[in-house]
Amino acid sequence: MEFGRTRVLCAASVQDGVPRWRSGSGLGWVTAEYAMLPSATGSRSPRESVKGKIGGRTHEISRLVGRSLRACIDMSALGENTITLDCDVIQADGGTRTAAITGAYVALADAVTWLRASRKLSDPKPLSCSIAAVSVGVVDGRVRLDLPYEEDSRAEVDMNVVATDHGTLVEVQGTGEGATFPRSTMDKMLDFALEGSAQLSEMQAAALAEPYPGELPGGIRS
Alpha-carbon distance of 121 to 115, in angstroms, equals 6
Pick the closest to residue 55 from 65, 45, 40 (CA basis).
45
Measured distance CA(36)–CA(87) in Å, rounded: 8
> How far apart (Å, rounded) are the C-alpha atoms in residues 152 and 201?
23
The binding site for phosphate consists of 57, 95-97
Q: Which residues pair with 137 in a beta bridge?
A: 144, 158
How many angstroms from the chain centroid is the CA of residue 160? Answer: 11
Annotated binding site: 57, 95-97
Of 185, 156, 189, nearest in space to 172 by CA? 189
Which SS3 state, helix, strand or coil, does residue 124 take?
coil
User: What DSSP state is assigned to residue 21?
Assistant: G
Residue 151 CA to residue 161 CA, distance in Å, equals 17
Edge-to-edge strands, sheet with 2-3:
2-3, 6-16, 81-91, 29-36
Q: How far apart are CA 205 and CA 25, in angstroms?
A: 32
User: How far does CA 76 lie from the centroid of its chain?
Assistant: 21
